[in-house]
Structure 1
Amino acid sequence: MVDELRIFSVRDAIAAGRSRFALRRVGVRTPYRGIRSSAGTPASDDLQARAAEYVPRLRIGQFFSHETALALLGAPLPPYPYVPGIHVSAHRPAREPRVPGIHGHRLQTRSPAVLSTSQGWPVEHPVRAWRQCGTLWRLDDLVAAADFLLTDARPRIEADELATEIARMGDTRGGVLTRALGLSRYGPRSPSETRLRLLLIRHGLPEPEISWVLRDANGVFVAELDLAYPSWKVAAEYDGRVHAEDMRQFARDADRWDAIRECGWQHVRILFHHMRGDGAVAVGKVREALRCAGWRR
């Protein structure tokens, strides 16, 4: 977590009685003009720490927007090696920032819908921020973010809200937002799960059920399956762990996999390396399980 007390504006420090000489001490950085920080340089993928360094420069009417707002609200960002930018916007007639390293945007005159993060930082409403990302992100990244908004955002967003925003403000890049919304679903718990689902249907496999509840013959809960094909009793789940860091959790998961198989289901565990490249290995594993269960294209 970022220690916000170690990030301050020169103006506020001087007003509090600090001298300019004291602000030049060793170990104090200048991330932006007029800002000083004694915190370590944030990593390029630590968007929260990078945004924290700009907070003291925010002026009245300015707020974090685009991918910055979505990330600060918990939505998934495009995967590595994508490096997100810091976006700050303002509605006309207020002025956007013009600062090196910051993407400033002057938006159309419109009633603000700014929210506050848990730190009290002003951010664009997630519906509007998602649409703004239509100029920045690929289709699958927009679908993953929409899945998050429909499933895990607090308060949760309805698909109609995203559709209304597109209709009111327009689509981008050949209708990428409309296509993303058409592919989005309620239920995914991770962007990797979303990408696996999209990969499977693009390769001609049936669309799986999301977060499907498996019960045994007596109706007792067994597991919630990430992606399920109830007609063929095949479950596909993404496991992003490189190795078993928590042996107790790994043991619980192994028992869960056994319980799924005891119900007569095939459990296909997809790991990170199965998704590399075009994801053919992941698709092949699920396709073979479906074929063994009687599915034919």
Structure 2
Amino acid sequence: MASRPSLPLALPASFTVAQAAEAGVAPGRLRGRSLARPFHGVRARSASASTTMIDLCRAYAPRLREGQFFSHETALLLHGAPMPDWPYVPRIHVSAHRPSREPRTVGVVGHRLQTRVPVVRDVDGMPVEDPARAWRQCRTLWTHGDLVAAADFLVSGARPPITVAELRDEVVRMGDVRRGILSRALDDVRGGVRSARETRLRLLLRDAGLPEPHTAWNLYDERGTFVAELDLAYPQRRVGVEYDGRVHAADPGQFARDADRWDAVRAHGVDLVRILSHHLAGDGAAAVQKVRAALMRAGWTPLA
């Protein structure tokens, strides 16, 4: 059996049928099983191409027309923000400002936005909505906790892509919905948060009637020497709370360093509570109980 002709090197990993035709590829070559068809009119070089959301965005990118860009939760995903927990499944959203037209194809949610000057960022060669605008666009898609977790991410880190003030300005300019869900979410945003699970834990503790903990609290010894940064802490009670997602469990070296840090924190008079993923299962009652017990050991008394 004759082998199929190779595709031109000028074609990217994912390309449109029109691009292939311009490159001289015969229509029959595009019908072969060796090519994936992630979207109508799109082909990918590998028939077993990955189907992660980011890979799907890369596959769809060649189909974007002038004025179209990834938006809503897709934009937040491409900016690195956390998505809602399973079983929620994020979708690919593509928008365009009037008078440009949104896409209408299977597998993509199209949006035609009101006339507005676009603020599109380049992410890995793809046009992506500004993070503040994308966050506001998720107001009808996500819960309060999911919105807070995404905003916590966006305003944290050494070089955060956006500020709380910019998020609030976007809400003031474009409006809020659902009983002010965005404004209420912004009131709960805190900087220095490393993961969505930390956000969930912080909100869980507060909603259970415990004091709200500080985020990214630095512990120093009596000489002012830095000891450790704690995910969450109650400095006046000398109680620290760490969420341990067990991401380093397979790395003995990292696990040993973490264990030494935990010992150092406790040696400096902090009652360190480690919360694992199973403590947050269900309604998170196990996590609340562990932190409540530590606070009560430190002299805190629940309000009647």
State the secondary structure of the residue aligned to 1:54: helix
Alignment partner, residue 108 of structure 2:
102
Corresponding residue SS for 2:36: coil
Determine the structure 2 residue equivalent to 1:92: 98
Structure 1 residues not aligned, in runs of 5+: none
Which residue of 2 is the match for residue 33 of structure 1? 40
Instruction: Supply the distance in 1 between the matched residues of 2:293 and 2:182 (Cα, whole angstroms).
Output: 33
Q: Structure 1 vs Structure 2: percent identity of aligned residues?
A: 58
| Counterpart residue number, 2:258 | 253
Aligned to 1:212: 217
- Residue 11 in 1 paired to residue 18 in 2? yes
> Given that residues 61 and 91 in structure 1 are in contact (C-alpha distance below 8 angstroms), is that contact kept between their aligned partners in structure 2?
yes
1:283 is matched with: 288
Alignment of 1:124-273 (within 5 A): 124-152=129-157, 154-241=159-246, 244-273=249-278
Q: 1:260 to 1:116 in 2, by over 3 A?
A: same
Q: Is the 8 A contact 2:70 2:129 kept in 1?
A: yes
> How far apart are the structure 2 equivalents of 1:49 and 1:156?
23
Please give the per-residue CA displacement for 1:234-285, whole angstroms capped at 9, x wherever unaligned. 0001001177210100000000000001001111000000001110000000
Q: Secondary structure at the match of 1:53?
A: helix
Q: 1:243 & 1:146 partners in 2: Cα distance?
A: 25
Aligned to 1:283, the other structure's residue is in SS state: helix
Q: For residue 66 of structure 1, what is the aligned residue in structure 2?
A: 72
TM-superposed deviation, 1:156: 3.1
Gaps of 5+ in 2: 1-10
Asked if the contact 1:242/1:272 (under 8 Å) is kept, the reply is no
Instruction: State the SS of the aligned residue for 1:231.
Output: helix
Distance 1:179 1:61, change over 3 A: same
Distance in 1 of aligned mates of 2:13 and 2:107: 20
Amino acid at match of 2:221: D
The CA distance in 2 between the partners of 1:99 and 1:174, in whole Å, is: 33
Letter in 1 for 2:50: P
Alpha-carbon offset, residue 27 of structure 1: 2.1
Whether the 8 Å contact between 1:114 and 1:123 is mirrored in structure 2 is yes
Q: TM-score normalized by structure 1?
A: 0.95
**Distance in 2 separating the partners of 1:139 and 1:27:** 44
1:42·1:49 contact (CA, 8 Å) conserved in 2? yes
Residue 39 of structure 2 aligns with an amino acid whose one-letter code is Y
| Distance in 2 between residues matched to 1:243 and 1:60, nearest whole Å | 44
Give the CA deviation at 1:24. Answer: 1.8
Distance 1:155 1:231, change over 3 A: closer
> Contact 1:71–1:77 at 8 Å: present in 2 too?
yes
Code of the aligned partner of 1:37: A
How far off its partner does 1:116 sit? 0.6
For residues 219-238 of structure 1, give each alpha carbon's deviation from its aligned partner in whole angstroms, at most 9, with x where no partner exists: 11110011011111100010
Structure 1: which amino acid aligns with 2:17? V
What one-letter code is carried by the residue in structure 2 that aligns with 1:14?
Answer: A
CA drift at 1:106: 0.1
Residues 8 and 139 of structure 1: CA distance in aligned 2, closer, same or farther (over 3 Å): same
Question: How big is the shift at 1:29?
Answer: 2.0
The letter of the residue matching 2:117 is S
Amino acid in structure 2 at the alignment position of 1:223: A
User: What is the one-letter code of the residue matched to 2:60?
Assistant: Y
Please tell me whether residue 78 in structure 1 is matched to residue 79 in structure 2: no
CA RMSD across the alignment: 1.4
CA distance in 1, matches of 2:15, 2:57: 13
148-157 vs 235-244, which deviates more? 148-157
Aligned residue in 2 for 1:22: 29
